[in-house]
Chain A
């Protein structure tokens, strides 16, 4: 299985690996088996391997996967829900993975279901990703014909909304409601889809799990760092020569990852790590950052969903942040007062500081409101938006002072995509 052998990771070489993401798409079952090898039946023992591997969720929250699996395995008639929705507009990695290695994700779903004792599994992909859904349906049909899986896997095409992929929103939609977050006092592991214990994992997480089932925990840990083992997908976007999804060893230096996409240090103002809920890393700090939890924590960032968005040198980060903040305000589900009223007020204040804010009043309001909205929604949408604004004020602090003196920068091209919202059903 040469294709699975990863090149040694050094700080000078480009840190690309091909574990879950093959260099060319592996679409048919025959190709899949030739490339990745057959999936062994590991049963519940897989949970121990996943724990030993130190696999963490790749959807953004980074929660240890084995802990979730154990909680669900203890319940009666569990369901596995695999989240392939990618409402985050700066991330393409889940669609890219599903379109390049559909059977690997399906192997992961089957293995996770087998490990926790689930008969039913649902793979959720947003309905606008029609090409991706077709690939998955073909793959699923092939597996059914080959009687490969004992678990019943079905694909659901979900609404295209930023918050629709949030765990409780997804479960609420699967249960027949709007794809809006719900207020919950219980865990999904106790009560989720159809009130059954529900394991909800990101598609990339389960692709890694499928490889852990094949090769074991120490193989998984043979790249990455001890704190952040394995590999992960990153989406490098923005005005760089080769924007794309790359699979990298965890802990890879940020500059090396950016240069994969042709992003050169002198051409970068800042990098947004983790998308619209993420953290800006201003250019002078980029050289010191590696893509692991400890290094990122030094600048208040987390790896998140691995989205790396480049703000080009000379672009106004504040104007970009204000535009994204407005978009985030418009994405709120209209359910919780502090979010519904707070985020538009925050977006107004961001516009005001971009315009100059000579009295400093808008900035004072802004700083008060970002602390005020945190933790006061049914979901983490207000927290994520507040965190993005705080990060923007921190990363572009000097530039903020310049706006106070001179007013707004000349308009420039938007960098982060801000797609129009779709339906809730």
Chain B
């Protein structure tokens, strides 16, 4: 896999598991990094998000009905 678009400060996504109620919108909008388990809850790929996927990640976070999906810059953690 190419690493050229994943600088060390690239953001990552996390889900707030308390806020998440398994709408599943995130997996539709960001299938590159989010799949659903058999109960409909998101399984997040923890790797940093490369630039070319950031739009998908932001769209998924904005569309989450409970705002449970967060995009974190490295500094936030």
Q: Which residues of A contact B (CB under 8 A)?
A: 182-183, 185, 335-339, 341-342, 372, 376-378
| A183 CB contacts on chain B under 8 angstroms | 16-19
In the complex formed, the residue of B with least CB distance to A181 is B18
Check B72–A185 contact: CB distance below 8 A: yes
Closest 10 CB pairs of A and B: A336-B17, A337-B41, A341-B39, A183-B16, A335-B18, A183-B18, A378-B18, A338-B41, A378-B17, A337-B22
Q: Which residues of A contact B19 (CB under 8 A)?
A: 183
Q: Do most interface residues of chain A lie in helix, strand or loop, or is the interface mixed?
A: loop
B76 touches A335 (CB 8 A): no
> B7-41, CB under 8 A of A: which get 1 and which 0?
00000001011111110000000000000010111
Closest partner residue, chain B, to A382 (CB atom): B17
- Complex-state Cα separation, A338 to B43, whole angstroms: 10
Contact between chains at B18 and A376 (CB < 8 Å): no
Q: Are B72 and A337 interface neighbours, CB within 8 A?
A: no
A-B contact pairs, 5 of them (CB 8 A): A183-B19, A337-B41, A338-B37, A342-B39, A378-B17
- A185-B76, A336-B18 are known contacts; what are 10 more A-B pairs with Cβ within 8 Å? A185-B14, A337-B20, A337-B21, A337-B39, A372-B43, A376-B17, A376-B43, A377-B17, A378-B16, A378-B18
In the complex, the chain B residue whose C-beta lies closest to that of A180 is B18
Residues of A contacting B52 in the complex (Cβ-Cβ under 8 angstroms): none
Count residues of B near A (Cβ-Cβ below 8 Å): 17
> In the complex, which residues of chain A have a beta carbon less than 8 angstroms from the beta carbon of B37?
338, 372
A336–B18 CA distance with the chains assembled, in angstroms: 5
Nearest Cβ on chain A to B22's Cβ, whole angstroms = 6
Tell me the complex Cα distance, A86–B17, Å.
25
Closest chain A CB from B77 CB (angstroms)? 7
Asked if A182 contacts B18 (CB within 8 A), the reply is: yes
A337–B42 Cα distance when bound, in Å, is 10
Specify the chain A residue showing the minimal Cβ separation from B72: A185
A376-B16 contact, Cβ under 8 Å, with A185-B76, A337-B22? no
Complex: how many Å from CA A342 to CA B77?
27
Name, among B18, B39, B72, the residue most crowded by chain A CB atoms within 10 Å (CB to CB): B18
Across the two chains, which residue of chain B brings its CB closest to A335? B18
A338 touching B39, Cβ below 8 Å: yes
The answer for the CA separation of A336 and B77 in the assembled complex, in Å, is 21
